[in-house]
């Protein structure tokens, strides 16, 4: 909306074959239905620029539009899309005879944003206008993605309003010429350009010629712009190339905030959404762009389709198909130390020496002298010195894999691992990833100290600090030692059961019990040895039961009957049988299933109960074997 007028870029038919840039007002205007004006466009962004303010030549306000469309100036065997920027004048009223109720100020130009490798022109996905008090210094930030699925490189390019104005106000036009009777080729126009200049707004030059609005423009000027709305030159980016090149998931949306840091300089901070649900925060230091923070705002990898900024509230809003997210522009409190706060190089944050906290620069306006911030240099010399990092002990079991975590606090840093003064690299022994180090198939030679270093290059300086230290020690299982002749002291990892005052059973503990070797009193024998002895007796009894059944010819009752063909000695396929009642008849498997076979319930080693449960008898002064616990650590065996 511009005042009471609605500007829209859309298609006005259901087939989507009639694209228009339309102004709905008392003097409605639209574009021509010609491929030279719009050729299957994909509209992206539209905004108003108040260029009439403090204009020395009495210029008019303009509406800028960004889109992609099929190129007509290139000779390709198929359609190729190119990014465009177009503009129309706010005071445009159309022509008197030519271009009636049509734009007389519509001009368009190609946007240049070169990728490093040769490729087709990129496609513009989103644009954000960072306004300046002086509108001439306002900047359009645009996200570009490749139109070929073979490339995974995205880019951000910036364009000043002055550069776009220069192309439209002073640049050459393109015109169509017939080649080989049927083919049309677009080339630079070298003929005479009418006065007033085609596509220009009504300014002081036109007013001196007696033209106070577009209805007064001559037909020669209107016919020229009707046939030649395309400029010959492309708009070049502010830095001559992309501000940011990013491989991986494609970029989708962008917003930009402006922050005045403690050094007095203004930094433009870009918040960029990705197709997998991340928001990346990037800032430019001395012509080099850094991604200082990356935040996953959606658990599932969904594309961020909407990104909005509220500088006054300090909030960022991201929208996708799954919902909307609100997040602060910066969370300075998560930097716990002075080094982390400084090395984050976040223009929003500074270390407050008085409170010993990393705080927002907006909260330091009352006392900025106590704050420390070094964005370009990353100088941490003003931070208080910290003590050495304490080593964390890790047990090394040969043959296992060991993971050593190490999380860096700065996106600008790289992780370096050291072991015995050797710099580790990813190979068949070590795997270094973003969250730590993985040591594969360890051996006793891997024992020692491991250092995780955060290495960051700031300009020509290398800043290195150790963030984690691990001490790997070979784990030795308990062994027997003999302090005196005839006495053996052995470490056992056993369960002890102690009764509490309320009669409940406490958690199992691990104790070291001395066990004399020459002890005749059986009451002092370990309960573990008793359990082993009784289990051995139980196994012998069970073997006796099996032999007895075999001798009596009743072994078939347990499933070893002859097969359906009556051939003995061959085993039928293994099956599982559910016995509902142990005291009832037991039905055998196979051909003998029709003959009942009763179980012998008089055997003292086994107790069958009617509830279908199988229980061992209670043994000497120990708890039931049902109380045995699982051993989770192999060292306890």
- Per residue in 575-607, pLDDT (tens digit) is 333 333 333 333 333 333 333 333 333 333 333
pLDDT the model gives residue 604: 30
On the question of pLDDT at 550 being above 70, the answer is no
Average pLDDT over every residue of 415-434: 89
pLDDT the model gives residue 94: 95
pLDDT the model gives residue 530: 62
pLDDT the model gives residue 612: 37
Which span out of 132-136, 289-293, 538-542 was modeled with the highest average pLDDT?
132-136
What are the C-alpha distances in Å from 559 to residues 28, 553, 576, 602? 94, 12, 10, 21
pLDDT band at residue 542 under the 50/70/90 scheme: confident
pLDDT band at residue 103 under the 50/70/90 scheme: very high
On the question of pLDDT at 8 being above 90, the answer is yes
Q: What's 190's DSSP letter?
A: -
Q: Which residue has the tokens 């708009």?
A: 235
Domains and CATH numbers, the chain: 6-227 (2.130.10.10), 248-372 (no CATH), 392-474 (2.60.40.10), 544-627 (no CATH)
On the question of pLDDT at 555 being above 90, the answer is no
On the question of pLDDT at 504 being above 70, the answer is no
- Of 7-21, 240-254, 438-452, 484-498, the poorest mean pLDDT is in 484-498
Vertex 239, ends 233 and 245: CA angle to 5°? Answer: 105
Query: From CA 345, how far away is CA 456, in angstroms rounded?
Result: 12
DSSP β-ladder status, 357-360 and 6-11: unpaired
**Helix (H), strand (E) at residue 82:** strand 81-89
pLDDT the model gives residue 540: 78
The per-residue pLDDT for range 34-82, each reduced to its tens digit, is: 999 999 999 999 999 999 999 999 999 999 999 999 998 887 778 899 9
On the question of pLDDT at 548 being above 50, the answer is yes
Query: From CA 6, how far away is CA 22, in angstroms rounded?
Result: 8
Q: Which residue has the tokens 């960051």?
A: 456
pLDDT band at residue 232 under the 50/70/90 scheme: very high
Query: From CA 367, how far away is CA 328, in angstroms rounded?
Result: 23
**With contact defined as beta carbons under 8 Å apart, do 11 and 18 qualify?**
yes
Q: Over pLDDT 90: what percentage of the chain?
A: 49
| pTM for this model (two decimals) | 0.70
Which residue intervals of 150-290 are DSSP H helices?
Answer: 161-170, 204-208, 219-227
On the question of pLDDT at 520 being above 50, the answer is no
pLDDT the model gives residue 44: 97
Q: Which residues contact 14 (CB under 8 A, 6 or more apart)?
A: none
Average pLDDT, the chain: 79
On the question of pLDDT at 367 being above 80, the answer is no
Report the Cα 149 to chain-centroid distance in Å: 20
Instruction: Extract the tokens encoding 272.
Output: 């960029």
Residues in the chain: 637
CB atoms within 10 A of CB 593: 13
Per residue in 449-475, is it b (16+ CB within 10 Å) or e — as a string?
A: ebbbbbebebeeeebeeebbbbebeee
On the question of pLDDT at 122 being above 90, the answer is yes
Phi/psi for 143 (5° steps) reads: -100, 130
pLDDT band at residue 543 under the 50/70/90 scheme: confident
Q: Over pLDDT 70: what percentage of the chain?
A: 76
pLDDT the model gives residue 478: 64
- Of 26-30, 63-67, 105-109, the poorest mean pLDDT is in 26-30
Vertex 573, ends 571 and 578: CA angle to 5°? Answer: 110
């Amino acid at each position: 909306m511009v005042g009471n007028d609605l500007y829209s870029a859309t298609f006005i038919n259901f087939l989507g074959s009639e694209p228009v840039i339309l102004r709905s007002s008392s003097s409605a205007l639209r574009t021509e239905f010609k491929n030279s004006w719009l050729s299957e466009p994909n509209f992206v962004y539209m905004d108003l620029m108040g260029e009439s303010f403090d204009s020395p030549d009495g210029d008019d306000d303009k509406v800028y539009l960004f889109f992609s469309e099929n190129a007509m100036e290139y000779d390709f065997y198929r359609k190729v899309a190119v990014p465009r920027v177009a503009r129309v004048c706010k005071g445009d009223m159309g022509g008197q005879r030519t271009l009636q109720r049509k734009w007389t100020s519509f001009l368009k130009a190609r946007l240049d944003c070169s990728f490093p490798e040769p490729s087709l022109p990129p496609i513009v996905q989103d644009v954000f206008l960072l306004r300046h008090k002086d509108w001439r210094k306002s900047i359009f930030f645009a996200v570009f993605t490749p139109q070929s699925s073979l490339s995974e490189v995205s880019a951000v390019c910036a364009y000043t309003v002055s550069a776009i104005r220069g192309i439209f106000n002073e640049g050459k036009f393109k015109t169509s010429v017939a080649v080989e009777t049927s083919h049309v080729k677009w080339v630079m126009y070298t003929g005479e350009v009418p006065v007033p200049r085609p596509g220009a707004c009504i300014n002081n030059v036109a007013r001196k010629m007696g033209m106070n609005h577009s209805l007064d423009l001559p037909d020669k000027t209107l016919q020229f712009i009707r046939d030649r709305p395309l400029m010959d030159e492309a708009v070049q980016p502010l830095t001559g190339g992309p501000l940011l090149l990013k491989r991986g998931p494609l970029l989708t949306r962008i917003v930009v905030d402006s922050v005045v840091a403690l050094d007095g300089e203004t930094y433009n901070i870009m918040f960029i959404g990705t197709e997998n649900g991340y928001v990346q925060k990037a800032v430019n230091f001395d012509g080099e762009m850094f991604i200082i923070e990356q935040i996953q705002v959606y658990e599932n990898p969904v594309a961020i389709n909407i990104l909005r900024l509220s500088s006054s509230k300090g909030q960022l809003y991201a929208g996708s198909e799954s919902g909307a997210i609100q997040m602060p522009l910066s969370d300075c409190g998560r930097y716990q130390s002075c080094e982390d706060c400084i090395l984050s190089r976040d223009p929003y944050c500074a270390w407050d020496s008085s409170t010993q906290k990393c705080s927002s620069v907006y909260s330091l306006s009352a006392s900025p002298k106590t704050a420390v911030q070094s964005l370009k240099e990353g100088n941490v010399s003003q931070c208080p010195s910290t003590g050495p990092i304490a080593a964390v002990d890790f047990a090394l079991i040969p043959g296992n894999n060991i993971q050593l975590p190490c999380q860096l606090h700065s996106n600008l840093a790289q992780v370096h691992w050291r072991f015995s003064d050797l710099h580790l690299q990813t190979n068949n022994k070590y795997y270094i990833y973003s969250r730590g180090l993985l040591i594969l198939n360890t051996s006793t030679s891997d024992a020692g100290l491991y250092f995780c270093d955060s290495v960051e290059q700031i300009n020509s300086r290398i800043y290195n600090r150790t963030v984690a230290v691990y001490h790997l020690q070979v784990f030795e299982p308990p062994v027997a030692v003999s302090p005196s002749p005839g006495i053996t002291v052995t470490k056992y990892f056993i369960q002890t059961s102690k009764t509490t005052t309320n009669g409940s059973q406490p958690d199992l503990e691990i104790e070291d019990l001395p066990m004399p070797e020459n002890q005749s009193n059986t009451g002092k024998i370990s309960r573990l040895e008793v359990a082993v002895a009784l289990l051995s007796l139980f196994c012998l009894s069970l073997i006796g039961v099996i032999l007895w059944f075999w001798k009596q010819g009743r072994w078939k009752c347990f499933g070893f009957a002859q097969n359906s063909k009556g051939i003995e000695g061959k085993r039928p396929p293994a099956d599982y049988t559910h016995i509902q009642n142990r005291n009832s008849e037991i039905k055998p498997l196979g051909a003998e299933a029709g003959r009942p076979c009763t179980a012998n319930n008089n055997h003292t080693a086994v107790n069958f109960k009617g509830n279908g449960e199988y229980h061992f008898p209670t043994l000497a002064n120990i708890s039931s074997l049902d109380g045995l616990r699982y051993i989770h650590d192999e060292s306890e065996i």
